[in-house]
């Protein structure tokens, strides 16, 4: 009967709808693995080098920005200088596409810039400053601007105090008015010095909003015990527990799924010294791979991590040695008339990460949560921000201390 056919279709459509789950809990596709990415390779090694200094607190930096700035400078160098930069940026395993480090970094910078304003609010600047030297070559300016978003600046003729003020003013503008902490290491730029500078300010917008009890202060058990506002949310998250190493990992997506925060925390209250030493890219990759979607109740302190770093000591220890030496450095591609005077005079870095409750714009249905695992962030943890399209590592840092009313010293 031809009249019955449309009703049959409607009925079948109704059945299919009834059988389909209302809110599928299919895990989003995993980003490209960290082992094939230069920002992760440099990021983990640089993090450990920074944390080997027992005085480091709330370390935070952008592996992607440091790697991209070094990549730009590497393309303007030759000989041993170029080889040492390439070794720093070599991924732990070749990328599936067989892409070169420069291509991967350029693509990741573009991806983060495109996602700005939806998954997060990001203010970012990278520059190379030149002290009393011939102008940058046009070819270097063009390539490093288009591929690595590098600005080109000249330091004034003043002394190191004047240079420092110029760098601070530049960083403040890059951080959209935020006053970064002063640099502890003095920058003494001689004639021909190149200073690489990065400034980044980040605030993620969660996929689903956290609730915060501003009247209900909890204790954060960090370097100092402080009273903080805690933010809470129970939902479906990728999660993994490594019982042998007593570490748990949770991945919280940001709005639109283009980026996520990965948090790594010891099971028990302790400082991060043990986890810092334990952390390798291979182990972290294994944890990320094993993480599966499950019900998790996450509690995090409302906090700001800010960090100002000079990276010369750490990058030298990781093998970047010739670049700092006026006699050995070869930056012949950076300036046409450099005649061996150009050398690296400093790599300085300002970064800020805000942990807040806010989500992106739009309403998503709440997930069905059953017997959630607990991720209670009332003691130090490590945080990563990664781009889910390219897999690149935008930020890596440690929350050792949360600002708040002090109770008494402990860890």
- List the chain pLDDT tens, one digit each, 411 residues: 545 554 544 555 544 443 433 334 456 788 889 999 999 999 999 999 999 998 899 999 999 999 999 999 999 999 999 999 999 999 988 765 556 899 999 999 999 999 998 899 999 999 999 999 889 999 999 999 999 999 999 998 888 899 999 999 999 999 988 888 888 777 888 999 999 999 999 999 999 999 987 677 999 999 999 999 999 999 999 999 999 999 999 999 999 999 999 999 999 999 999 999 999 999 999 999 999 999 999 999 999 999 999 999 999 999 999 999 999 999 999 997 766 689 999 999 999 999 999 998 877 888 899 999 999 999 999 999 999 999 999 999 999 999 999 886 555
Q: Domain residues for 296?
A: 208-302+367-409
- Residue 329 is part of a domain; what is its CATH number? 3.30.497.10
22 is a domain residue = no
On whether both 157 and 294 belong to a single domain, the answer is: no
Nearest to 73 by CA among 280, 334, 362: 334
- Whether residue 315 sits in one domain with residue 250: no
The answer to whether the CB of 6 falls within 8 A of the CB of 31 is no
d(CA 132, CA 154): 8
Q: Residue 19 phi/psi, 5° resolution?
A: -80, -25
Q: Give bridge partners of residue 234 from the DSSP assignment.
A: 297
Is the domain of 272 the same as that of 330? no
The helix or strand, by DSSP H or E, that contains position 117, with its residue range, turns out to be none
Judge if 382 and 293 occupy the same domain: yes
Length of the chain as a residue count:
411
90 and 52, same domain (yes or no): yes
Pull the structure tokens for residue 139: 């070819």
pTM of the model: 0.91
Our count of domains for the chain comes to 2
Task: Report the DSSP beta bridge partners of residue 147.
Answer: none
Matching residue, tokens 């991720």: 375
H/E stretch holding 409 reads strand 405-409
- For every residue of 356-383, DSSP letters joined together read -S-B-SS--PPP---SPEEEE-SS-EEE
228 shares a domain with 187: no
Identify the DSSP state of 206: B
Q: How far is Cα of residue 334 from the mean position of the Cα atoms in its chain?
A: 27
Q: CA separation (Å) from 252 to 28, 204, 223?
A: 12, 10, 25
Residues 291 and 309 in one domain: no
């Amino acid at each position: 009967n031809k009249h019955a056919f449309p009703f049959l279709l409607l009925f079948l459509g109704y059945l299919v709808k009834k059988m389909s789950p209302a809110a599928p809990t299919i895990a989003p596709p995993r980003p490209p693995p960290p082992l094939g990415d230069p920002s992760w390779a440099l990021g983990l090694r640089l993090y450990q080098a920074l944390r080997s200094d027992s005085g480091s607190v709330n370390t935070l930096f952008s592996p992607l920005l440091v790697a991209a700035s070094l990549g730009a400078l590497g393309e303007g160098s030759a000989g041993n200088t170029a080889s040492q930069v390439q070794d720093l940026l070599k991924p732990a395993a070749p990328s599936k596409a067989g892409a070169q480090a420069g291509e991967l970094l350029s693509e990741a910078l573009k991806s983060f810039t495109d996602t700005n304003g939806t998954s997060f609010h990001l203010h970012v600047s990278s520059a190379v400053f030149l002290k009393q030297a011939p102008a940058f070559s046009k070819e270097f300016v063009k390539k490093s601007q288009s591929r690595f978003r590098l600005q080109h600046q000249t330091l004034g003729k003043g002394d190191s105090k004047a240079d420092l003020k110029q760098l601070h003013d530049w960083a403040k503008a890059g951080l959209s008015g935020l006053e970064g902490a002063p640099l502890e290491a003095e920058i003494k730029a001689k004639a021909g010095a190149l200073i690489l500078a990065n400034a980044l300010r980040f605030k993620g917008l969660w996929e689903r909003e956290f609730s915060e009890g501003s009247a209900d202060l909890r204790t954060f058990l960090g370097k100092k015990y402080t009273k903080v506002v805690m933010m809470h949310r129970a939902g479906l998250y990728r999660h993994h527990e490594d019982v042998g190493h007593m570490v748990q990992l949770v991945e919280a997506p940001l709005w639109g799924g283009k980026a996520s925060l990965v948090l790594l925390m010891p099971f028990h209250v302790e400082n991060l010294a043990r986890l810092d030493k334990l952390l390798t890219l291979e182990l972290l990759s294994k944890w990320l791979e094993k993480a599966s979607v499950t019900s998790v109740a996450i509690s995090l302190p409302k906090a700001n991590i800010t960090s100002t770093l000079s990276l010369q000591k750490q990058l030298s220890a990781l093998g970047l040695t010739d670049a700092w030496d006026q006699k050995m450095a070869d930056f012949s591609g950076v300036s046409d008339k450099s005649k061996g005077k150009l050398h690296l005079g400093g790599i300085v870095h300002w970064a800020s990460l805000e942990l807040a409750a806010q989500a992106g714009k739009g309403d998503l249905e709440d997930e069905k949560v059953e017997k959630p695992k607990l991720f209670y962030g009332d003691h130090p943890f490590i945080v990563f921000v990664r781009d889910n399209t390219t897999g690149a590592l935008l930020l890596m840092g440690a929350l050792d201390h949360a600002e708040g009313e002090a109770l008494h010293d402990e860890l």
